Structure 1
Amino acid sequence: MTVLARAGTRWTCLGVLLLAIAGCSSSPEKPQPAALPSVSGQMAVQKAWTANIGPVTTPLFASVHGGLVAVASTPGQVALINAANGQDVWRLQLDSLIQAGVGGDGQRFAVITRNNEVVAIEAGKVLWRFRLPAMSYTAPLVAGGRIFVLTADRAVTALDGASGQKLWTQQRTGDPLVLQQAGLLIPFGDTLLAGWGGRLAALNPNTGAVRWETLVGSSRGTNEVERLVDVVNGVSRMGNTLCVRAFQASVTCVDATRGSTVWTRPAQGHEGLDGDESFVFGVESDSKVLAWQRQSGQPAWSQEALRFRGLSAPLVMGRFLVLGDDKGLVHFLSRQDGQALQRLSTDGSAITGKPVAAGPTLVVVTRTGGVFGFRPE
């Protein structure tokens, strides 16, 4: 389920939950998952290694840094793992629950705790802490010797990577209700791109000055929940074109050098995107997998055989599209037509975050903290 929260506070709107199914169906019961499709057997995948990080119940994402993968657990463990063999490069236990992460540049890493602290880590040791004025559900961005943070009150803050000193803050006002889900904060050349409600904004990373803003998702409905629109974590980039998802509203591709819209299509999903030179891939909230033509946005194919299986955001890896589900299964689909090629099991708990690829190794993390390395052949 997708939880909503008040921006800038720890109050969670317990009575307001959005079911991650079929556009919030009025039915009180969750639809039964589709029967698992048969797989073609046209590919083989080996389990290379397993590790454990601890339970993951907050917006935590594995991040790749060359051949290394950074992972974190909600109870406070952070680890940097060698994706070739699954061995720890280092592992650290923090004294606070972790709310968001892990961001890094291969040398310096950062997470955000439930106490609203940015914690910078280097070589497995805490470098500094910085207290934020609001909660954050988005992994910090570590780039250019700085750490950038997007908080739930739609403020972007830049911190000096070595000292933690605040360099600047830029904020945009918005509706008080926000997703308790990772938002968008990524680099693009010499520009910082951030999701501000239904807008994509380009900021000067040195000063926070806004270079451009463009609307990628419009509010709909008459109450707070129906009006909610946020740009979610996970984009597809090819050259200067960046494709993003606005929560339960649309998928939009933008020329990120100017902020002009290339195309936009209605879409009812809440997970991020991936893509290649031909297609943009996404998952609707009922777990229907869709592919759009990258140039035009026209539908290319759809796969409904995994509906209501709680699919993760997709990962393009080689000629495959990889998705995890809420039963701990990892699905491999053909990028060309969505055909089911292979399926693997993990530990039976939901795949959390998005699968990632570190060289030839596919890494997935489960809700109970299993970290699995697979190698497609």
Structure 2
Amino acid sequence: MNILIRLAVIVFGVTLLSACSSDADNAMAPSPLQSYTPSVQAVTAWKTGVGNGNGGYYFRMRPAVRHGVLFVASRNGDVSAVNAKTGRTLWNENIGANITSGVGVGGGNVYVGTDNARIVALSAQDGHLVWHAPVTSEVWAAPEYARGIVLAHTITGNLSAFSASTGHLIWRYDEAVPSMTLHAASQPEVAGNTVVAGFSDGHLVVLNLQTGNMLWQQQVALPRGNNVIDRMVDITVDPVVVNGVAYVATYQGRVAAYDLDKGQLIWSHKISSYAGITADRHQVYVTDADGRVWCFDEATGAVAWRQTALKGRQLTGPALIGQSVAVADRYGFVHFLSRSSGKLQGRAPISADAIAQPVADNSQLFVLGTNGTVWSFVLRPFKA
């Protein structure tokens, strides 16, 4: 599997940082940058350095933005708050442990997970420690806040719910973990009083937010093949809920849409994805494992368009900004596609590989690089 060159895997609790030599020999070469007629221009509003990025490890440390402040975590334990408009650092704190997750924010706090099996809550106002609590193992996905509760998803398939104000454990859900998994996990999505969570065994599970009781579950993809690598069907893509429909994607499996109330399958496509999915009220956008970007009709699943010009460039998941779909790659570029047609609209260089799915907030797009640099882009009509 080519993706194993980029994604570490976990086998019986041991991290393997490279794939077998045959995979390396057969790695998909990145598509060369193609010429196109630009229609948008990505202007760098600001860039700033915060911490050491992911420290050379494969951790998808996606920033979070709330009320005009961008919160960024780094592998070395730094958590920073940055003015989203100006790039000025408002505060920076080191939590004294290696961070393994992206950032969650809500309830006046900022939340991160660590490699010593803890979830840490800092004040969003000034960064002081509010509480920390033990979990069963490393937290790989960004904690999710909703209605006074913080959810943490760990390496061992555990989903824990904590009081956002005190760190008190409210409930815990456990899912079986396969013998081999990708070195990534999905952030739960909360819709109303419902938690939508994807796990490394290919299960999509829907729980009651307050109690943790299961409402329904579906096997999004079935493991197939004669070896453990071929049978990997991890859900590392964060589920998305729009208009009462849960959208999810699995590695070596499929992209699927489920009725949130009933758990019934609405549509699906056989597509492998580990990077990301997003949606608006009409369309669903997915980056597949080979670097193609897909757009589906949200109601029927019909393919609206597919962009193949970026194959092999190790794309992040998509983010929506204006009338564009933004994806970053691991070769130092951010690409902008038309929402309606998928055509290339613009391109912006960055001086590092992108860590995770870009973050969009109103008219700004934030991209975090592996070296700890954050870029803020604003899209404008292209002028020759």
Q: TM-score, normalized by length of structure 2?
A: 0.90
**Residue 111 of structure 1 corresponds to which residue in structure 2?**
112
Q: Which residue of 2 aligns with 1:69?
A: 70
| Runs of 4+ off more than 4 Å | none
The answer (yes or no) to whether the contact 2:93–2:128 under 8 Å persists in 1 is yes
Of 268-277 and 302-311, the range deviating more from structure 2: 268-277
Residues 223-269 of structure 1, C-alpha deviations (whole Å, 9 max, x = no match) = 22222212223344321112111112110011112211110110022
Paired AA for residue 82 in structure 2? I
Of 161, 164, 176, the match for 1:161: 164
Q: CA deviation at 1:14?
A: 5.1
User: What does residue 271 of structure 1 align with?
Assistant: 275
Among 2, 5, 8, the alignment partner of 1:3 is 8
Instruction: Say whether residues 1:351 and 2:354 are aligned partners.
Output: yes
Q: Which runs of 5+ in 2 are unaligned?
A: 1-5
User: 2:154–2:185: 8 Å Cα contact kept in structure 1?
Assistant: no
- Cα distance change on mapping 1:59 and 1:44 into 2, 3 Å: closer
Query: Following the alignment from structure 1 to structure 2, what is the Cα–Cα distance between the partners of residues 363 and 30?
Result: 29
Alignment partner, residue 42 of structure 2: 45
Structure 2 letter corresponding to 1:33: P
Task: Determine if contact 1:67/1:359 at 8 Å carries over to the other structure.
Answer: no
1:227-242 aligned within 5 A: 227-242=231-246
Letter in structure 1 aligned against 2:316: S
**Equivalent-residue separation in structure 1 for 2:72 and 2:53 (angstroms):** 11
For residues 76 and 63 of structure 2, the distance between their equivalents in structure 1, rounded to whole angstroms, comes to 16
> Deviations 1:205-227 (Å, cap 9, x if unpaired)?
22211111122122111222222
Structure 1 residue 141 and structure 2 residue 144: aligned? Answer: yes
1:99 partner SS: coil
1:331 corresponds to 2:335: yes
Asked if the contact 1:236/1:280 (under 8 Å) is kept, the reply is no
CA-CA distance at 1:178 after TM superposition: 2.4
- Shift of residue 376, structure 1, vs aligned partner: 0.8
Amino acid at match of 1:180: H
Identity %: 27
Quick one: structure 1 residues 314 and 190, their matched pair in 2 at CA, closer, same or farther if it must change by over 3 Å?
A: same
Contact 1:69 1:358 in 2 (8 A): no
Counterpart residue identity of residue 300, structure 2:
S
TM-score by length of 1: 0.92
Kept after mapping to 1: 8 A contact 2:157/2:176? yes
What is the SS of the residue equivalent to 1:258? coil
**Residue in 1 aligned with 2:31?**
34
Contact conserved, 2:205 with 2:216, CA < 8 A, in 1? yes
Cα distance between partner residues in 2 of 1:278 and 1:157: 32
1:120 aligns to 2:98 (yes or no): no
- Using the alignment, how far apart are the partners of 1:82 and 1:184 within structure 2? 25
Q: Is the 8 A contact 1:3 1:18 kept in 2?
A: no
The C-alpha deviation readout for 1:44-86, integer Å capped at 9, x for no partner, is 2321111112222323111121322211111111112221111
1:310 pairs with 2:314: yes
Pair 1:361 & 2:358 matched: no
SS at 2:356's partner residue? strand
Equivalent in the alignment of 1:181: 184
Q: Distance in 1 between matches of 2:136 and 2:217?
A: 24
Distance of aligned partners of 1:27 and 1:3 in 2 relative to their CA distance in 1, 3 Å threshold:
closer
User: What secondary structure, in the 3-state scheme, does the structure 2 residue paired with 1:86 have?
Assistant: coil
- The answer on whether the counterparts of 1:246 and 1:270 sit within 8 Å (CA) in structure 2 is yes
Structure 1: state its 5+ residue gaps.
Answer: 20-24
Specify whether residues 297 and 100 from structure 1 end up closer, same or farther in structure 2 by C-alpha distance, changes over 3 A only: same
- Corresponding position of 1:131: 134
Number of equivalenced pairs = 368
Task: Provide the aligned C-alpha RMSD in A.
Answer: 2.0
Render the CA deviation track for 1:186-209: whole Å, top value 9, x for unaligned: 111111111132111111122211
Partner of 1:22: none
Q: 1:316 to 1:113 in 2, by over 3 A?
A: same
Identify the structure with the greater strand proportion. 1
Tell me: CA distance 1:189–1:211, structure 2 relative to 1, closer, same or farther (3 Å).
same
Secondary structure of the residue aligned to 2:116 is coil
